[in-house]
Amino acid sequence: MENPRSPSRREILRLAAGATAAVMMPPTLAAAPASSQSQLLRKIPKGGEALPAMGLGSSRTFDVGSTAAERNALREVLKLFVEQGGRVVDSSPMYGESERVIGDLAAELGVSEKLFMATKVWTSGRDAGIRQMEESLKLLRTRRMDLMQVHNLSDWKTQLKTLREWKARGIIRYIGITHYTESAYDDLAKVMQAEDLDFVQFNYSIAERAAEQRLLPLAQERQIAVLVNRPFARSGLFEKVRGKDLPPWAGEIDCRSWAQFFLKYILGHSAVTCAIPATSKPKHLLDNMQAGLGRLPDAATRERMARLVAEL
């Protein structure tokens, strides 16, 4: 995922060493200069709680066994994530052992209380949903889930009813829905219009921009926080730029790698609350987290970025 002719992620790791705690800034404006080393925060529209705009996904990356050899790199990823000011960690029962691994490592590192834990219910039927969510609480080692989402809209009417009951009881703080493909946007929009939601999660990247047409404006209109999955269009974006230099003007938005270029494009949209790239490599985690530092692109620069990538 590195660009061989742009600063490497090893160099980014060195630059990241001086990062400090997060501070608040307006979502519609560029972040502070990179020298201030402050993580961008975005407010959850309903309630106003501020979250770091760079989060951590776990699909495919945290699905490992229980041995030290399998978990050491992930332990370092989670440790660095918290040190860099990250909080939002997203998982799902669909992701194999990810919930268990996150719960175990967070407890070992003593960072469980510092994380904003987000997971999903991915089944049909009320009783099955309850059993699955109870298991998620157990695996993530928490009595109160920060965010519970209906994964890929699976039996969403049934599951949302239970989520609201659990929220009223204080077991869940926020509720939401998710999907990962453009083909589901119409269904997502219908639920966003009809239901009172705290969060929505969907795919969005500089290569997959369809969410800009309807979902992102709708989220702003309905005051729904947005988590962005597939920020790199899986690995497709890195294949597209392999061997290519960053444009010289990338420095104007404090961008030092293609990963930061792609993530800053996403964070440049004011409707986005948090992007959740997944990684199992500490150096990539540090690179990704730098996207939450420094200046962000304005609308004109974002269009320039999109044109550049489209023309590659």
pLDDT tens across 182-240, in order?
999 999 999 999 999 999 999 999 999 999 999 999 999 999 999 999 999 988 899 99
Class level of CATH domain 9-311: alpha beta
Q: What is the domain partition of the chain in residue ranges?
A: 9-311
Between 4 and 124, the more confident residue is 124
Question: What tokens does 26 get?
Answer: 């307006």
pLDDT digit string, tens, across residues 111-139: 999 999 999 999 999 999 999 999 999 99
The secondary structure element, H or E, covering residue 308 is: helix 299-311
Q: In what order do the strands lie in the sheet with 274-275?
A: 88-90, 116-121, 145-150, 172-178, 199-203, 225-229, 274-275
Q: What is the mean pLDDT of the chain?
A: 90
Query: What type of residue is 44?
Result: I
Mean pLDDT of 32-41: 64
pLDDT at position 4 is 35
Question: 77-88, pLDDT tens digit by residue?
Answer: 999 999 999 999
Backbone phi and psi for residue 45, each to the nearest 5 degrees, phi listed first: -55, -40
- Cβ-contact 295, 25 below 8 angstroms: no
Q: What is the pLDDT of residue 14?
A: 45
Quick one: pLDDT at residue 38? 84
Minimal CA–CA distance to 14: which of 295, 257, 186, 296?
257
Q: What is the DSSP letter of 263?
A: H
Structure tokens at 301: 């620069």
> Per-residue pLDDT for 12 more than 90?
no
Gyration radius of the chain's alpha carbons: 18
Confidence band, pLDDT 50/70/90 cuts, at residue 5:
very low
The runs of H, that is alpha helices, within 61-155 are 68-83, 98-109, 126-139
273-306 confidence digits (pLDDT tens): 999 999 999 999 999 999 999 999 999 999 999 9
Is residue 33 scored above 80 in pLDDT? no
Q: Is the dihedral of CA 131, 195, 42, 216 positive or negative?
A: positive
For the four alpha carbons of 14, 18, 24 and 25, in that order, the dihedral sign comes to negative
At residue 2 the predicted structure's pLDDT band, cuts being 50, 70 and 90, is: very low
